[in-house]
Amino acid sequence: MSTDLSADLDAIALVDHHVHGPLRGSVTRAGFESFITESDRPVPPWMTQFDSQLGIAIRRHCAPLLGLPVHAPAEDYWAARAEFSPDELTRRFLGASGTGHWLVETGFRGSEILDPAGIRQHVDGRVDEIVRLETVLESVAPGATAGGLVDAFRDELASQAAGAVGLKSIVAYRYGFDFDPDPPSDTEIHRAAGAWLSSGDVTRVDDPVLLRMLLWEGVRTGLPLQLHAGYGDPDVELHRCDPLLLTRWLKAIEGSGTDVLLLHCYPFHRNAGYLAQAFAHVYLDVGLAINYTGARSSAVIAESMELAPFAKILYSSDAWGPPELHYLGAVLWRRGTAAALNAWVEEGEWSRADAVRVAAMIGGDNARRVYRLRDD
Ligand SMILES: [Zn+2]
């Protein structure tokens, strides 16, 4: 039997445990390039975002799905892509990803991307929803009073969570992980709610007391709680998104029964691996970083498999927007995981059977257990 694990990896029906919708409509090249960087600044006229690990990976792996040779020039790629409708691109790329179950977070720029019902129309796999806590609070804020805000939030969260498999917090974006790890008092919440509601703009909650309230309310539901960690757009102050800053809060909620899933984590994925080893309720992925590091993603994947027990690592693409990202995340994860495991098997450090088993755990089994997914 060949030691090469590529075919075993290709055969895994992935659970993409953190992903967003593909684009609803067509996009200009400038718009597309803005979606293949985490920067929200305009791409300077003297460069193209195709000249990046992600851009080269798109030309390498996505071009054949549009009938082009691998490494087709960016201009050829763009001309070929323009011949397809948004729906056809979605069917082509999501269908080719080999993903069997999508856990879709709907809270970010939801009007531009397909919602779970829209995704279901284009894929054979199952689609479930993850609810973003901050978006729920922002949806009930107009018309709420300082004394009634928490109850309004609880009612809306109960309604939305009833149809969801997990929750998500972006406290890393809105404040940072260096927040007070204790639950806020009713007095603190009342004061913070009053100040926020009277500020004249309740479209974006960034008050640390209210963000802590959301985290503790999320923990109370018992649903798995995803936390953005590490790398993201310039809205984050990256030095405040190291998951090690969560250590005291993670200890405070230990025993609550709620699992915490640290998303992306790059470049702090080794720190996240430590937390996943130290605490039974902590998990990690390196989702966003897999696409963005392209040909180097095999190294990031291997690093994510250092300290963390293998029952604590999950696959995700964190794709948002261009459906290339939904496909590429899966391709690069399969390739990077196969590369890491192949090396360890060939060195005689791992058995082939263990490698196949661990790949299946990370590719889907762990997510099915943590999110209590049915019928996969
Ligand atoms: Zn995301």
Q: How far is the CA of 105 from the centre of ligand 1 (A)?
A: 7
Give the model's confidence band at 108: pLDDT under 50 very low, under 70 low, under 90 confident, else very high. confident
181-207 tens-digit pLDDT = 999 999 999 999 999 999 989 999 999
Q: Are 103 and 165 in contact (CB under 8 A)?
A: yes
- The pLDDT score that the predictor gives to residue 1 is 55
Q: Are 368 and 15 in contact (CB under 8 A)?
A: yes
H-run or E-run covering 75: helix 74-81
Q: How far is the CA of 16 from the centre of ligand 1 (A)?
A: 11
Q: Are 285 and 18 in contact (CB under 8 A)?
A: yes
CATH 3.20.20.140 fits 6-26+85-370, yes or no: yes
Q: How far is the CA of 21 from the centre of ligand 1 (A)?
A: 10
- The pLDDT score that the predictor gives to residue 318 is 97
Q: How far is the CA of 142 from the centre of ligand 1 (A)?
A: 26
Q: How far is the CA of 287 from the centre of ligand 1 (A)?
A: 9
- The pLDDT score that the predictor gives to residue 352 is 97
Q: How far is the CA of 36 from the centre of ligand 1 (A)?
A: 14
Residue 103 has pLDDT above 60, yes or no: yes
Q: How far is the CA of 103 from the centre of ligand 1 (A)?
A: 11
In this structure, what are the phi and psi dihedrals at residue 325, rounded to the nearest 5 degrees? -70, -30
Q: How far is the CA of 185 from the centre of ligand 1 (A)?
A: 30
Q: How far is the CA of 92 from the centre of ligand 1 (A)?
A: 21
Q: How far is the CA of 367 from the centre of ligand 1 (A)?
A: 16
Q: How far is the CA of 106 from the centre of ligand 1 (A)?
A: 9
Q: How far is the CA of 76 from the centre of ligand 1 (A)?
A: 29
Q: How far is the CA of 15 from the centre of ligand 1 (A)?
A: 15
Q: How far is the CA of 146 from the centre of ligand 1 (A)?
A: 30
CB-based burial label for 256 (10 Å; 0-12, 13-18, 19+): middle
Helix, strand, or coil here: 113?
strand
Average pLDDT over residues 141-164: 96
Q: What distance in Å separates the CA atoms of residue 88 and residue 78, rounded to the nearest whole number?
A: 15
Q: How far is the CA of 330 from the centre of ligand 1 (A)?
A: 15
Average pLDDT of every residue of the chain: 96
Lowest average pLDDT, out of 108-122, 203-217, 356-370, goes to: 108-122
Q: How far is the CA of 200 from the centre of ligand 1 (A)?
A: 28
Q: How far is the CA of 108 from the centre of ligand 1 (A)?
A: 8
Lowest average pLDDT, out of 131-140, 228-237, 244-253, 274-283, goes to: 228-237
Q: How far is the CA of 168 from the centre of ligand 1 (A)?
A: 9
Q: How far is the CA of 39 from the centre of ligand 1 (A)?
A: 14
pTM given for the model? 0.96
Average pLDDT over residues 213-231: 97
Q: How far is the CA of 205 from the centre of ligand 1 (A)?
A: 18
Q: How far is the CA of 319 from the centre of ligand 1 (A)?
A: 7
Q: How far is the CA of 223 from the centre of ligand 1 (A)?
A: 18
Q: What distance in Å separates the CA atoms of residue 123 and residue 146, rounded to the nearest whole number?
A: 43
Give the model's confidence band at 374: pLDDT under 50 very low, under 70 low, under 90 confident, else very high. confident
Residue 348 has pLDDT above 70, yes or no: yes
Residue 375 has pLDDT above 80, yes or no: no
Residue limits of CATH 3.20.20.140 in the chain: 6-26+85-370
- The pLDDT score that the predictor gives to residue 235 is 87
Q: Considering only residues 35 and 375, tell me which one the structure prediction assigns the higher pLDDT.
A: 35
Q: How far is the CA of 10 from the centre of ligand 1 (A)?
A: 24
DSSP secondary structure string for all residues of 140-171: H-TT--TTTHHHHHHHHHHHHHTT-SEEEE-H
